[in-house]
Amino acid sequence: MTNVLVFFLVNLAGGIAVLGSYIVGLYLYPDFRNTLWGGISGSTKTLFTVSMIFAAAGYLCFCYSMAISEAANKSSFLGQHTFAVLAAFFLISASVWMPATLKYLSTSDNLWWIISVISLWITAISLCLLTVSFGLSKYENVGTIQFAFALAGISWITIHCLLFDAIIWVAKFH
């Protein structure tokens, strides 16, 4: 199995898990929809929402570039399956946030808050490593413009998950 195929399957399964956790969570707990914003409101909420859209689009741009150029087949400076492994950490931890936060909101059990915060930090750290790994690796089949768009895409979602989610959301939640 090629690295591109592994990367694709990780992103397919992980993407379904993340989106599924959001859909199921928002469907089963409609009373918590506003509470999940954690004190984010007004123009800051709009900024978060716009950034989320660009972050998702950026990650899709990165994934598309990795697939069409077969960049995922290239070993990064960290090893052969680096991109798939880091994407798996990112997506698994991202899929944990919604259920853990909802469990915290419904039970007030601090363990679920800790799991929620840890999931955000694992998401951010894995994206930081994915961005650095991609940025420092060399690719023969990736043009300069394609590389720049892919790097911008992965960088945007990294900044969003680190700054907006792991730092600002966590600080404002209580």
Number of domains observed in the structure of the chain: 1
Tell me the residue range of the domain where 152 lies: 3-21+43-74+93-173
For residue 171, the one-letter residue type is: A
Residue 52 lies in a domain: yes
Q: Which two tokens stand for residue 68?
A: 């069409």
Residue 14 lies in a domain: yes
pTM: 0.91
Residue 123 lies in a domain: yes
Residue 102 lies in a domain: yes
Phi, psi of 79 (to 5 degrees): 140, 175
> Per-residue pLDDT for the chain (174 aa), expressed as one digit of tens each?
778 888 899 999 999 999 999 999 999 999 999 999 988 999 999 999 999 999 999 999 999 988 887 666 665 555 667 889 999 999 999 999 999 999 999 999 999 999 999 999 999 999 999 999 888 877 777 788 988 999 999 999 999 999 999 999 999 997
